[in-house]
Amino acid sequence: MSKERNVLFVADLHAPWILDGYLDWCKEQEEKYKCNRVIFSGDILDGGSWNYHEQNPDGMGIKDELYAAKKQLKQVYKLFPKAISLMGNHDLLISRKAKTGGLSQEFIKPFKQVVDAPKEWRFVHEYRIDNVLYKHG
């Protein structure tokens, strides 16, 4: 017999552009509804500085965006030390850009390392629990 689960499903973060107050609101919902599983919908990173669209010459550079995102994600990990995160299209941009540049995936480190995620976080393309399939997009 499966144990009843209350899942907190957190929408795309797009770090470093996480809306002020959003994480605290999510934590309040987790406590209010006694959630015992946390799933992030993907797009943990935004990647605006390394996507395929025309770049803003006055915008944040790649390194600065990644460092700002990692700094913001520290708060996410503190509030939600254990979670499943789906791999969103923005998260997969790193791998896609390497492929476009002709680089083997052997040169790319795991996404979990890129975002300095704790060991209790899992990054997956899809996740099924209680006959519900969670998948980005």
Q: What is the pLDDT of residues 18-59, one digit of tens each?
A: 999 999 999 999 999 999 999 999 999 999 999 999 988 898
Q: What is the pLDDT of residues 106-125, one digit of tens each?
A: 999 999 999 999 999 999 99
Is the preceding omega at residue 16 within 30 degrees of 0, hence cis? yes
* pLDDT of the residue at 86: 98
Residue type (1 letter), 17? W
Q: How far apart are CA 23 and CA 79, in angstroms?
A: 8
The structure tokens listed for 30 are 């987790």
Quick check: pTM over 0.85? yes
